[in-house]
Amino acid sequence: MQSKKANISRTIETEAKRVVFVIYPGVTLLDVAGPLQAFSSANNTEIAEGRRVYEVAIASPEGGPVATDCLVDLGTVSLDHAAVQPIDTLIVAGGDGVFDALDQRNIVSWIKAQSPNCRRVASTCMGSFLTAAAGLLDGQNVTTHWRHVEELQRRFPKINVKRDPLFVRNGAMWSSAGVTAGIDLALAMIEEDMGHTAAMQVAQALVVFFKRPGGQSQFSDILSIQASETEGLFADLHAWIAGHLQSDLSVPKMAERLAMSPRSFSRKYKEKTGITPAKTVEMMRVDAAKHALARSNLPLAKIAFNTGFLDEQRLRRAFQRHVGTSPMAYRGTFSAAECDAI
Residue 81: which H helix or E strand, with range? helix 79-82
Domain 17-206 and domain 221-341 have a common topology: no
Tens-digit pLDDT profile for residues 286-335: 988 988 887 788 999 999 999 999 899 999 999 988 887 889 988 886 66
Stronger pLDDT, 11 or 328, i.e. the higher one:
328
Tens-digit pLDDT profile for residues 214-234: 445 544 556 556 655 556 678
Instruction: Enumerate the domain spans of the chain.
Output: 17-206, 221-341
pLDDT at 341: 33
Residue range 17-206 forms a domain whose CATH class is alpha beta
> What separation in angstroms does the CA of 166 have from each of 149, 161, 260, 305?
13, 12, 39, 31
Tens-digit pLDDT profile for residues 21-43: 999 999 999 999 999 999 999 99
Rg of the chain on CA atoms, in Å: 23
Q: Which of 85, 155, 97, 156 is nearest to 125 (CA)?
A: 97
Percent pLDDT > 70 in the chain is 86
Beta carbons within 8 Å of 63's beta carbon, 6+ residues apart: 5, 76, 77, 78, 79, 81
Tens-digit pLDDT profile for residues 112-153: 999 999 999 999 999 999 999 999 999 999 999 888 999 999
Q: CATH assignment of 221-341?
A: 1.10.10.60
Stronger pLDDT, 261 or 231, i.e. the higher one:
261
